[in-house]
């Protein structure tokens, strides 16, 4: 074989191996990208499952707190100064109906599964130190859309609601400006929104809040079983 032919053959082989390498790198990149997306999705599913477990513990903590009060039962007030303890006025009423979760009072963690502070709101009739009765009524509402219209209500006359601000953390430690539906969970009124997550650019904007609420029927049933009511 002549030297020129040998050089030409080597160049062809060298060029072919570069093409192969480029193809392998492209395929590897696609596989790694898919794995990263999959791992991210798996991580979010694990965090959501962990949040649901925490929610169950928080509801039990609220019920246990009410059942352990001397005299008539009542729920804790929100934490308004960030120390984890409930804040009450001298007359026994809550300093505010909404604030941080009183995690010290409840003996639970202060953060959600994404490291944000949990938000807590309680109905005044259910948190006064004078205690609640079977005739007491909560005033909180959770719905699929703002304003708690009748067709969208998930729960009404609720004694307490807890909000986890999700991965984006808006309203918690993550900061940033929440979109419309997330803002409904921050505006200090009695209405809250809960629906499946939505992405930025949708009509209501990005939403990944998770909520749990205390059912009045469950609360009353547990207080009767504990001998605190009627």
pLDDT digits (tens, 9 = 90+) for 86-130: 999 999 999 999 999 999 999 999 899 999 999 999 999 999 999
Distance CA 11, CA 95 (A): 81
**Average model confidence (pLDDT) across the chain:** 86
What would the mean pLDDT of 184-188 be, rounded to a whole number? 91
CB 140 within 8 A of CB 190: yes
| pLDDT at residue 196 greater than cutoff 70 | yes
pLDDT classification of 180: cutoffs 50, 70, 90: confident
Of 22 and 166, which is predicted with more confidence? 166
The pLDDT, as a whole number, for residue 47 is 85
Residue 1 has pLDDT above 70, yes or no: no
pLDDT higher than threshold 70 for residue 23: no
For residue 5, what pLDDT is reported? 45
CA atoms of 45 and 47, how far apart (whole Å): 5
Phi and psi angles of residue 130, each rounded to the nearest 5 degrees, phi first = -70, -15
Residue 175: band (very low, low, confident or very high) from pLDDT cuts 50, 70, 90: low
Strand 191-193 to 140-143 pairing? parallel
- Please determine, for residue 150, whether its predicted confidence score (pLDDT) is greater than 90: no
Choose among 183, 165, 49: nearest CA to 118: 165
**What span, in angstroms and rounded, lies between the C-alpha atoms of 166 and 207?**
9
Instruction: State the pLDDT at residue 147.
Output: 83
Task: Please report, for residues 27, 31, 110, 163, 213, the alpha-carbon distance to residue 55 in angstroms, rounded to integers and kept in the order given.
Answer: 42, 36, 12, 9, 9
Write out the H or E segment, with its range, that includes residue 40. Answer: helix 3-67
| 7: pLDDT strictly greater than 60 | no
Instruction: Return all residues near 151 (Cβ < 8 A) that are at least 6 apart.
Output: none
User: Which has the minimum average pLDDT: 21-30, 41-50, 75-84, 98-107?
Assistant: 21-30
The answer, yes or no, to whether residue 6 has pLDDT greater than 50, is no
Identify whether 135 is preceded by a cis peptide bond (ω within 30 of 0): no
pLDDT at residue 37, rounded to an integer? 54
Confidence (pLDDT) at 44: 76
**Per-residue confidence band for 18, with pLDDT thresholds at 50, 70 and 90:** low
Per-domain boundaries in the chain: 3-225
Mean pLDDT computed over 155-160: 97
Percent of the chain with pLDDT over 90: 58
pLDDT of residue 151: 87
């Amino acid at each position: 074989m002549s030297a020129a032919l040998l050089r030409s053959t080597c160049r062809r082989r060298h060029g072919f191996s570069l093409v192969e390498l480029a193809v392998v790198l492209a395929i590897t990149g696609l596989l790694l990208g898919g794995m990263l997306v999959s791992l991210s999705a798996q991580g979010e599913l694990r965090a959501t499952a962990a949040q649901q477990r925490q929610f169950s513990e928080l509801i039990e903590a609220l019920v246990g707190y009410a059942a352990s009060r001397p005299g008539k039962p009542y729920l804790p007030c929100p934490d308004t100064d960030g120390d984890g303890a409930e804040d009450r006025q001298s007359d026994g009423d809550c300093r505010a109906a909404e604030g941080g979760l009183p995690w010290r009072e409840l003996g639970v963690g202060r953060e959600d599964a994404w490291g944000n502070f949990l938000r807590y709101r309680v109905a005044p009739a259910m948190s006064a130190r004078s205690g609640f009765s079977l005739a007491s009524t909560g005033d909180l509402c959770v719905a699929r859309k703002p304003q708690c219209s009748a067709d969208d209500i998930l729960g009404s006359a609720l004694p307490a609601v807890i909000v986890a601000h999700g991965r984006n953390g808006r309203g918690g430690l993550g900061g940033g400006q929440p979109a419309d539906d997330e803002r409904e969970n921050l505006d200090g009124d009695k209405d809250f929104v809960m629906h499946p997550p939505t992405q930025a650019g949708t009509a209501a904007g990005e939403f990944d809040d998770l909520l749990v609420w205390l059912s009045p029927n469950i609360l009353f049933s547990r207080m009767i079983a504990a001998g605190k009511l009627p």
